[in-house]
């Protein structure tokens, strides 16, 4: 059943208020009434009417004052407004228009004229709303198309560069295009490093697919600090060898951390990869891991980069956020590292967030202790 259009009638004269309500009701409108501006403002917040017809001169809050107060409230500011008054002074009309009234009718009025003006205002408002929706939809489509192109362009780069290095290096080795065994070893090292990048990229794509299908692994197993924390991180650090970074870690030997191993290692690798990427040359990156009482952990990652402004601390967790900066972006990557890290911890009831720090960026990941619903092995 189609919802009726709701009109709020505000007038301090009971006869006019009741007469208007009856007239509008007969014309198919849902009517709410208020006896003055204060009551009208309250009823407007409660009912969110489609249109307001209000007297100007009322005790306490006048119609003008009510409209002005509504204009300061984001939930009420766009409700169309018709002033209804016995005064005919031009100054009142100017005041009404200046504060955003959609129409102005003087008493006594002809009922048919009032209904016609109400219909005209509602028709105009609906046309503007439809146009606004169309513009918003076009804008959204344009943004999505822009993002799609950036994703594909960046994905193409992220895939082709390491793949090209693998093929070139293997071609040099297979065809013996090297002068010394050391040169051969270097070609093999380049191929291995590039293959590692490809493997990481594919793992991220699979992880994103698991997020979308709500299929993330939540089986919690004991985490080995060397194998599941430090080894993946050191592999990422090797990619930034030219920056001369110092990686310092403090992993508590007490307690056992339990988490899905692959997902946990992948999440931590991304948190550290971000820190390595945005750190200045010769900067220090710190990792502090503290085990909980029963399988949980608190992980803190600190770097000496520029940090993340407060207003962007949630934005950076959005998928592909980094690459949405177009040609101006200064860093490589698909922009999914923080998305993956947060999803991995959230699936276990934890969280990842950026917290205040005196210098650089500080990310805190929290893994809760084992819960009754958790599946644990080992």
For 101, other C-beta atoms within 10 Å of its C-beta total 21
* Residue 10 pLDDT exceeds 70: yes
pTM for the whole structure: 0.59
CA distance 143 to 169: 39
Tokens of 251: 């992993």
Burial class (CB in 10 A: 0-12, 13-18, 19+), 253: exposed
Percent helix / strand / coil, the chain, rounded to 5: 50, 15, 30
> What radius of gyration do the chain's Cα atoms show?
32
For 24, other C-beta atoms within 10 Å of its C-beta total 23
Output the pLDDT for position 324: 45
* Residue 161 pLDDT exceeds 90: no
Output the pLDDT for position 251: 94
Band (pLDDT 50/70/90 cuts) for residue 154 is: low
* Residue 165 pLDDT exceeds 90: no
Helix (H) or strand (E) run with residue 290 in it: strand 284-291
**Which own/partner pairs from 18-22 qualify as long-range (CB within 8 Å, at least 24 positions apart)?**
20/53, 20/114
Q: What are phi and psi of 300, to 5 degrees?
A: -125, 130
Band (pLDDT 50/70/90 cuts) for residue 319 is: confident
Q: What is the pLDDT of residues 192-220, one digit of tens each?
A: 888 888 888 888 888 988 998 999 999 99
CA distance 167 to 182: 19
**Side-chain half-sphere exposure of 344, counting CA atoms within 13 A:** 25
Q: In order of start, what are the domains of the chain with their CATH numbers?
A: 6-109 (3.40.50.2300), 133-212 (1.10.287.130), 221-367 (3.30.565.10)
């Amino acid at each position: 059943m189609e919802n009726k259009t709701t009109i709020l009638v505000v007038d301090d004269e009971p006869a006019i208020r009741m007469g208007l309500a009856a007239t509008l009701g007969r014309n198919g409108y849902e009517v709410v009434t208020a006896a003055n501006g204060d009551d009208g403002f309250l009823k407007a917040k409660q009912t969110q009417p489609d249109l307001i017809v209000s007297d100007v001169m009322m005790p306490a809050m006048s119609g003008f004052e009510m409209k002005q107060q509504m204009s300061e409230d984001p939930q009420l500011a766009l409700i169309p407004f018709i002033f209804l008054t016995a005064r005919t002074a031009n100054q009142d009309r100017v005041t009404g228009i200046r504060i955003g009234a959609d129409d102005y009718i003087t008493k006594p009025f002809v009922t048919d004229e009032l209904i016609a003006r109400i219909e005209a205002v509602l028709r105009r408002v609906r046309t503007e709303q439809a146009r606004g929706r169309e513009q918003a939809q076009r804008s959204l489509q344009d943004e999505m198309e822009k993002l799609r192109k950036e994703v594909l362009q960046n994905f193409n780069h992220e895939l082709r560069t390491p793949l090209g290095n693998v093929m070139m290096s293997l071609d040099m080795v297979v065809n013996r295009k090297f002068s010394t065994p050391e040169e051969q070893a270097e070609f093999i090292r380049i191929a291995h490093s590039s293959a590692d990048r490809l493997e990481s990229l594919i793992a991220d794509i699979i992880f994103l697919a698991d997020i979308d299908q709500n299929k993330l692994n939540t089986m919690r197993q004991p985490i080995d600090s060397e194998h599941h924390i430090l080894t993946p991180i050191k592999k990422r650090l090797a990619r930034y060898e030219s920056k001369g970074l110092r990686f310092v870690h403090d992993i508590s030997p007490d307690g056992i951390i339990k988490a899905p191993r692959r997902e946990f290692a992948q999440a931590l690798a991304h948190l550290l990869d971000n820190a390595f990427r945005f750190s200045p040359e010769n900067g220090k990156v710190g990792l502090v891991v503290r085990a909980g009482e029963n399988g949980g952990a608190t992980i803190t990652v600190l770097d000496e980069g520029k940090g993340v402004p407060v207003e962007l601390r949630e934005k950076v967790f959005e998928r592909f956020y980094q690459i949405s900066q177009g040609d101006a972006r200064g860093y490589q990557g698909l922009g999914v590292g923080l998305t993956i890290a947060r999803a991995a911890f959230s699936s276990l009831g934890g969280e990842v967030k950026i917290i205040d720090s005196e210098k650089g960026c500080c990310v805190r990941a929290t893994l809760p202790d084992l819960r009754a619903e958790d599946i644990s092995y080992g």
